[in-house]
Structure formats: C-alpha cells, structure tokens
Amino acid sequence: MDGLSERPFRSLVRKMGSAMSYTEFINAIDVMISIQRVQKKIAYHEFERPVTFQIFDDDPDRILHAARQLIPFHPDIIDLNLGCSARHVASRGAGAGLLPHPHKVAEILRNLVKNLTVPVTAKIRLGWDDHNRNYLDIARIVEDCGAQLIAVHGRTKAQGYTGQADWDAIAKIKSMLHIPVIANGDVQTVADIHRIQNHTGCDGVMIGRAALFNPWIFSYRDRWEVSQTEVKSWIDAHLNEMIAFHGIEEGLILFRKYLKRLLAPYQIESKDLLPLLTVSELDIFKNHLDLLFKTALTQKS
C-alpha cells in the first residue's frame, strides 16, 4: 500500500501477529536515479523478517538493475508488483499494466530468478478487465519462471477496489499451481479470513486496507471487540513511531491518514474531528486527542 505500508505501521502490525512484511512498492526508476530516494520505503526492523521488497516498472532491464541494487539491503524476498491498478502506474505499463503482456512478465521473472540470490515472488490481479481475465496464464508463467510464491487480488485492473473479489478465480489458481498461493481481496473480518481460506484452499491471506481500520485483525480480533482504551493506546504508539521515523512535523502530518481510518467507526462529528486533521503543533494535537476520548467518544459509548 503506497504511502501506508511503511515501517512504523508495518512494525506495529508485525507485533500484532502479521506473518510477513511487504514494503510499499518501489519504483525501479527511483532506485536507478538514486538509492537514497527509496531509503525510507525499504527501512525495516530485524524483527519484521521475513521482509519483502516489492518493486514495479515496465522495463525488464531496469527492474533487474533496480533489484540488484536493493539486494545489499538484505531483503528476504523480491516481489514483482503485477497488481497495482493506479492510473499513474498501470497506464505506463507497470503494475497491472503488465498483465496484457505475458511475454514481458515472463522475461522479467526469468531475469530476476536467474540473477538474484533471494527468492522471487509476484502479486497479480485477475487481468486488465472482464474481457481480458488472463490470470491462469499469468499464474502459470509466474510458477514456470521460477517464482516461489504468488499473491492474488481477486479483481481486475478495471475494477480497482470496486465490486466483489472473485474468490473462485483464486481457487482455480490454487488448484493449478504447486507454489504457495496467498489470497487477497474483501477480507474485512476474522470470519472472512476463515471463509477465504476454506473457499480457495490458499496457503495464506493478505490483508491490506482492512488493517488500516482494524490492525487487531492480525490478532484474530474484529474491530467491535477492541475497546476505546486499546484504540487510544494504538494511536499513541503509532504516532510515536511516526515521529521517530519522520520527525515531528512530517510525522504528525502523515499520521492523519491513519488516524482518520482508525476513528471512522466512531462517526465523529466534523467539529471534533477537524482539529485533529489540521493542527500542526504536537502538544495541541495530543490535547485535542485526549479531549476527544474523554468527552466526545465517552458520550457515544
């Protein structure tokens, strides 16, 4: 999750029970220009291992060169992103934009597997759109080229995050391949984890957006089971991690996108929420937050 799956968040959910850490996806062009441009994206704690560096681009040679430059930072896995549906990525033929070009996918994966000293994996979608659902061909290419795992988001590029994830398609991939398959898409609750496992026979479950709303899902707890006290403790811990990682000013600003999702279940009135999303002084932010949990949320409970 670009801009979200960074070290402060990843490290906290790792302690919560997540089994593997994926970095934000890394643009191979940025690596080629200057490795310093991606230093924060690839930062991790040792306890997060196994750590997967996820890269994207549309050029096979550039992807290989970028991956080679990342190896000295000791990732456990290099993952090829074939799933990003964002326009600025897919429209230039990267991410899900590679799915209509299976020969290029094969070239990229063969190059990575042949030349890297760590396992190579891939994350895919089901195809470009409903008329071009070539996920079985792509999945076979991933395995045949030597990749050791595949993660499957059960939507097409055209769907983005709309509609319903097709778990039947993930099940078809699992039944066809010998490498591990991780299922992804529409996992919002603990029950969903069990349902997608039973439905697809997958070897693991990848949780993305739902973890922003409920990081406790990695401990097999639904959000309704989490007390306000625990939510406040998480917010305090995450904010501290963000400030330690980014500095006070930037850390506080970047924390807002997490905070808004964490507070969403409470349906807080805009007059109470707005100060938290606009204030730039840390002490004032903390005072607003404490007041919110002491008054506005207490009144709702």
Find all residues with CB under 8 Å of 270, minimum gap 6, and list them.
none
Pairing of strands 77-82, 150-153: unpaired
Q: Residue written as tokens 């409470």?
A: 266
- Burial (CB < 10 A; 0-12, 13-18, 19+), residue 301, is exposed
Residue 99: C-alpha distances to residues 54, 93, 183, 185 (Å): 17, 9, 18, 18
Contact present, 12 and 21 (Cβ < 8 Å): no
Which of 55, 63, 80, 84 does the annotation list as catalytic?
Answer: 84
> Which residue's structure tokens are 């970028």?
66
**CA dist., res. 21 & res. 42, Å (int):** 11
CA distances from 256 to 7, 252, 275, 276 (A): 16, 7, 11, 8
Phi, psi angles (nearest 5°) of residue 293:
-75, -25
Q: Which amino acid is at 56?
A: F
User: Looking at residue 126, what DSSP letter applies?
Assistant: S
**CA 97 vs CA 52, 93, 126, 132: distances in Å:** 21, 4, 12, 12
C-alpha 147/C-alpha 144 separation (Å) is 7
Residue 84 annotated among the catalytic residues of the structure: yes
**Residue numbers annotated as active site:** 84
